[in-house]
Chains A and B, each alone.
Chain A
Amino acid sequence: MRNPQLNANGELTHLLSIEGLPRAVLTQILDTASSFIEVSDRDVKKVPLLRGKSVFNVFFENSTRTRTTFEIAAKRLSADVINLDVTRSSTAKGETLLDTVDNLVAMHADMFVVRHAASGAPHLIADHLRRVGRNDVHVVNAGDGRHAHPTQGLLDMYTIRHYKKEFTSLVVAVVGDILHSRVARSDINALSTLGAAEIRAVGPQTLLPTAIERMGVRVCHDLREGLRDCDVVIMLRLQNERMNGALLPSAREYFHCYGLTPAMLALARPDAIVMHPGPMNRGVEIDSDVADGPQAVILPQVTFGIAVRMAVMGILAGN
């Protein structure tokens, strides 16, 4: 079965997941993003790559930050951007996902940026577009259920490459609620494709998927063991609803066992960087002293995210 994100020439036509993408495609996106970084520093922050194209932000799940960065990225590429808050419109009236898609295609959408609460929804849309013969319409997954958040994964890789220059010698710890995290899955896939020396999945058993080790990670239940001598720490957001007692007794106990404090961070390499996909829960997964400290690169992640999303949309529009 061909990876549904690639066309017959192996070029990216949708970005649905990092899984299965060749290293060359990931590197191409990161290199293209580099060239877009300077666009954001110009007085006129625009390039005409997507002029005349319509990018539809279709968010079936609430999001402000991701949608905004996609919107900025598309506008810097000179695209027309249409934001649809589908949570409040069609689906509430009982329209199916694919009916919504058909309607938007009829409005001459060139690209969909999709967020959906169900894992695999962007795959379903891409498969549907293929079946109806609309291979000219591209899909970017902006987060589907627990499955993937590939642009976040790519911007995380961009950030790591920016600070660490390469991947093959790196030890990376992904800490927290990996079970429910699409960011974790995309990061793990990207890191393993880019050849990271060691990827550690750190958290209590209740927050790690069964068989996670099959994704090529080393499982650590002890935060100290997970952080020791690592080069990169990726902290994950702990959703409030996870703290209701079914998976964790309390936020307080979680912070005590898995919160990133300066003392814990001291176990990592002195030049280790700390990342977080946001929004942060200060005092739950991360201590403010770390979040605001010299090793945190959380705000640069956001800046790089725009260039990475420009790169993804630019590459898709050309394929």
Chain B
Amino acid sequence: MNKQNLQLQNARLVDPASGLDAHLDLFVADGRIAAVGQPPAGFSADRSIDAAGLIVCPGLVDLSTRLGSIEPELGAAVSGGVTSLACPPDTKPPLDEPGLVERLVRRSETLGLARVYPIGALTQELSGQRLAEMNSLARAGCIGFSQANQSIDTQLLLRAMQYAATFGYAVRLRPQDQFLARGGVAHDGEVAARLGLTGVPVSAETVATATALLLASETGVRLHLSRLSSAAGVALVRQAKHSGMQVSCDVSIHHLHLSEMDIGYFDSNARFDPPLRASSDRDALRAAAREGLAAICSDHTPVDADGKQVPFAEALPGATGLELLLPLTLLWAEQSELPLATALARVTCDPAAILGIDAGSLRIGSPADVCVFDPAESWRVTAESLRSQGKNTPYLGYEVSGRVRMTLVGGRIVFEA
């Protein structure tokens, strides 16, 4: 697949970064966005694509994708319109060695599907004991550092932030106090009480969030808080931003739609970390995403059947998400009566800005990472319809709207349906 000159015709072009939402043609040349509306001088299309009835938007940027097997998951990414993704460091082995990071980057570049941005381990082996070689990891391709879901004591966290701030690296934390969350598998609320499940209190998130915010403001590190789950958690971030702090956060697409009630009768597909919380929390996460306080991530976590066909508390947390990110974002937009450009900003230009990467926009000169989808086409979520090896989702059997028809990465057609 060489870099072709492409013309996408008759589509509705939505570019959240510029607020553009209009019926215009898009021209791609040399792997980049060449023009919008009128062709650039001397342009001749190798291929013209009739996209009537379809929407053309920037390829989605996902803040948190666990890859498992690289090839099928990157295939799943582009079939879901995701063209850039950040990979948290809790791979096996964890991303604490420059060699591992280089290999991941090279492997993904060879595949030529979605672009992979590794997040390095903040501490060696993510053990929370010794700082990882952040500078070497950054040179190998890491664009930020994180403890993934592992805990770290506050003294080492302070040191890690100081060290990261020295070089201007971003630190990402999934805020959860290990002591308050100990043994917990579900939101410490009504459903956990009824089903006899050990609860994770909201304070596990707020205590860790407050700690991270205080230490970040002391060190001046660029902080991103991943996968907030509670109303009180996003309220702390909102407050910090109002006081002028440079902090960003995201929520998972699942937490935007689901609540503790979706555990139903111990559905292990609804086991998440952090847990699905009360519906009032979900409403607050929706408000945070609506106002632009929080970006949206897929929190893609493929888990095989063995990891889910066990009692709820023993099940591995997480859900497959890459192929549901777009449909569920569209569903949220529809339910919340949001302009499409606003909703898509949360999965394109906003996460790109958080990651500091040149992606998520259809600006002239930008890399031609493009998603073309049919907003009206509905499809049923089944094990067969998902390309990811992870078939674990609470949405199994559900009908969703929004089907990706074509994905471009750097001007190359990497997916077409």
Contacts and interface: CB of A to CB of B under 8 A. Distances in A.
The 7 closest A-B pairs by CB, nearest first: A146-B196, A120-B266, A118-B311, A147-B196, A209-B193, A119-B196, A214-B190
A98 B193 CA distance: 26
B181 to A, nearest CB: 14
Interface in A8-43: 19
Interface in B373-394: none
A118 B195 CA distance: 11
Nearest to A188: B194
9 contacts: A118-B311, A120-B265, A128-B309, A148-B196, A211-B188, A211-B190, A211-B193, A212-B193, A214-B194
A96 B195 contact: no
- Between A1, A96, A124, A215, the greatest number of chain B beta carbons within 10 A of the residue's beta carbon is seen for A124
B306 interface: yes
B197 A4 contact: no
A300 B169 CA distance: 69
Contacts, number: 78
Given A120-B312, A211-B192, 15 more contacts: A4-B265, A118-B311, A118-B314, A119-B197, A119-B311, A120-B311, A120-B313, A121-B311, A124-B268, A144-B311, A147-B196, A210-B192, A211-B189, A211-B190, A214-B194
B93 interface: no
B194 A215 contact: yes
Contacts of B264: 1
A210 B309 contact: no
Interface string A41-83: 0000000000000000000000000000000000000000000
A119 B183 CA distance: 13
Contacts of B194: 19, 185, 214-215
Is the interface on chain A under 10, 10 to 19, 20 to 34, or 35 or more residues? 20 to 34
B310 interface: yes
Given A96-B309, A118-B311, A145 B265 contact: no
Nearest to A182: B196
A2 to B, nearest CB: 10
Interface of A: 1, 4, 19, 96-98, 116, 118-121, 123-124, 127-128, 144-148, 182, 185, 209-212, 214-215
Contact of A118 (B192, B193, B312): B312
Nearest to B260: A211
A119 B201 contact: no
Contacts of A1: 264-265
B196 A185 contact: yes
Given A124-B309, A124-B310, A147 B195 contact: yes
Interface in B248-268: 264-266, 268
B80 interface: no
A128 to B, nearest CB: 7
Nearest to A208: B193
Given A96-B306, A124-B266, A210 B193 contact: yes
A19 B196 CA distance: 12
A283 B271 CA distance: 40
A118 B265 CA distance: 13
Contact of B199 (A98, A144, A148, A210): A210
- Between B198, B268, B306, the greatest number of chain A beta carbons within 10 A of the residue's beta carbon is seen for B198
B352 to A, nearest CB: 39
Given A1-B265, A4-B265, A214 B193 contact: yes
B296 to A, nearest CB: 27
B196 A123 contact: no
B188 A145 contact: no
Contacts of B268: 124
Contact of B265 (A123, A146, A215): A123
Interface string B346-379: 0000000000000000000000000000000000
Interface in B101-116: none
Contacts of A127: 265
Contacts of A148: 196
Nearest to B189: A211
Contacts of B306: 96
A211 B187 CA distance: 11
Nearest to A128: B309
- Between B188, B195, B197, the greatest number of chain A beta carbons within 10 A of the residue's beta carbon is seen for B195
A247 to B, nearest CB: 13
A96 B310 CA distance: 8
Contacts of A4: 265
Interface string B201-233: 100000000000000000000000000000000
A306 B266 CA distance: 29
B382 to A, nearest CB: 15
A123 B195 CA distance: 11
B33 to A, nearest CB: 46
Contacts of A209: 192-193, 199
A120 B196 CA distance: 9
